[in-house]
Amino acid sequence: MQRLIRAGLMFGNLFHVSSPALVERYNRALKHLTGKTTKLTDFHVDISGYSPEVGDELDDHLYLNHAGVNRQFILLSMDQRRCPLLNTKFSTSRGILQQFYAENEAQLFALTARDAVAGELVNSVYDVSTPARLFDIRRITIDADTTGGTVRDAKKLGRLVGRFKNDQDGWFDDVLIAEMIDLAGKTGDVVRNPVKLSNMAFDQRDFWTAHFGGMYIFQDVEHPAVIAPSGKEGLGELPLKYVFDARDRNRIAQFFELNGLTETIIEARGINSAAILRQKMDFILVDAVANSQADLAGATRGDMRRLARQHSDKLPPEFHALAALVNWAENGGPWPRIASDHPAYFYTLRAADTKDAALVNMLLAELAAKDIRQLFICHKELFYRTYAGWSEAKKAYVVAFLEAEYQADKAGARAALFGHDAPMEEPKPAKPDPVSDRIAAVGPWGAVRRR
């Protein structure tokens, strides 16, 4: 992993906590949330305030995310809003934090000037001991305050000011006035500068979770389903009728089509589809020859063609199918029939322009995991896990490619690959509708036809 860290591909863009004042504030917030403190005087934190160094020190990398639910956060500086979220357990968490920070930017900027803000992403579930419990997570709210309770005190002071103004004997109530003066010393003038954080709630209906081997839960689509690529055995009874794993390729493809969630790369507008497919072929080629002592360092397009010729016996069906598709696109060759049971099928797709585009691209990255660029962009948790098992030659090639081709222009690379889609699209705040949605438990599938 050191190669990834040196290239800025892992633990990159974290906020550096090095001043004694910030360390002291972090410890106050950490004590407030967890009862623990750190002895470190220099460490890095992500958007939620989680620090890999502190996790190592405490021997607990879930110290702000007990049991993987109701993630807590520590905000020391508004610069954290540009940081990644590490040890992600739910795909929606970073987007929720970003929106909360943006919505309350002025208030949080003022609060963090004097203290740390500590909070929690709250739902009604405190454990996910069974997969069915995931479906009880329906709405996420945010509870936050400074460690000194500035927001709480400001609310109380506001109520006291109201009493003072409306009570005709307020001027003569020495106890009331003394309490107001005491609170004002902590909060400042809440009349001219109100200290109030927006009450925000987020529906969590379509999401990925790292629990139980990784599950994609689609509830807010016309035809709901759960997709557990690593296997559906042992998940038990779930409130959705359709549960698929990586072996159910036809059914997953049909799920995508029925809900309008994907489009083919060839048909997508505004992208160089042939170039994207060629790059996918390169990644598949590298995967095939990485263990054959092939020299991948600084490989050019010509080098890739030479490697393909030399190791043609090792090339998998995905490579040949994409090559036929490129030949059709560039040279008018015959249209290749790539059915959903073909290993190359999911390499030919990208997410359509829907609210779930980021989640769909994340799922496609897992279903077509040899595309290391999409895997890194859309599913970093899986990328880091699979990277550990690669040969040294493949690790070196992948890091060099991502450093040169992605790190240099992240926004441009995402636009070229996904067009309309921003892979880190955030969940939308929940509508202020008190009526809870019913989980759909049926779908249209029945007998599944082969494509």
Whether 449 has a pLDDT exceeding 60, the answer reads no
Whether 192 has a pLDDT exceeding 70, the answer reads no
CB 259 within 8 A of CB 220: no
Q: Cα–Cα distance between 421 and 413 in angstroms, integer?
A: 12
Say what the pTM is: 0.83
Q: Which of 310, 272, 268 is nearest to 288 (CA)?
A: 310
For the chain, give the percent of residues with pLDDT over 70. 83
Lowest mean pLDDT, pick from 53-67, 80-94, 424-438: 424-438
Biggest CA–CA distance in the chain, Å, is: 94
What the block records as the tokens of 58 is 């405490």
Q: Cα–Cα distance between 174 and 346 in angstroms, integer?
A: 73
Range 170-193 average pLDDT: 58
What the block records as the tokens of 323 is 């090559």
CB 100 within 8 A of CB 142: yes
CB 121 within 8 A of CB 425: no
Q: How many CA atoms lie within 13 A of 440 on its CB side?
A: 16
Backbone dihedral angles phi then psi of residue 217, each to the nearest 5 degrees: -110, 115
Range 293-321 average pLDDT: 85
Range 167-172 average pLDDT: 64
Name 117's bridge partners: 75, 146
Q: According to the model, what pLDDT value does residue 85 have? A: 95
CB 383 within 8 A of CB 375: yes
Question: pLDDT tens for residues 312-339?
Answer: 889 999 999 999 999 998 888 888 889 9
Whether 369 has a pLDDT exceeding 80, the answer reads yes
Whether 245 has a pLDDT exceeding 90, the answer reads yes
What the block records as the tokens of 433 is 């509708």
Q: Cα–Cα distance between 361 and 303 in angstroms, integer?
A: 30
Q: Which of 145, 118, 48, 57 is nearest to 87 (CA)?
A: 48
Q: Which of 280, 290, 245 is nearest to 375 (CA)?
A: 280
What single-letter amino acid sits at 451?
R
Sequence spans of domains, the chain: 2-150+194-203, 261-418
Q: How many CB atoms lie within 10 A of CB 123?
A: 18
Most confident of 44-48, 133-137, 183-187, 268-272: 44-48
Range 96-114 average pLDDT: 89
- Indicate the average pLDDT of the chain: 84
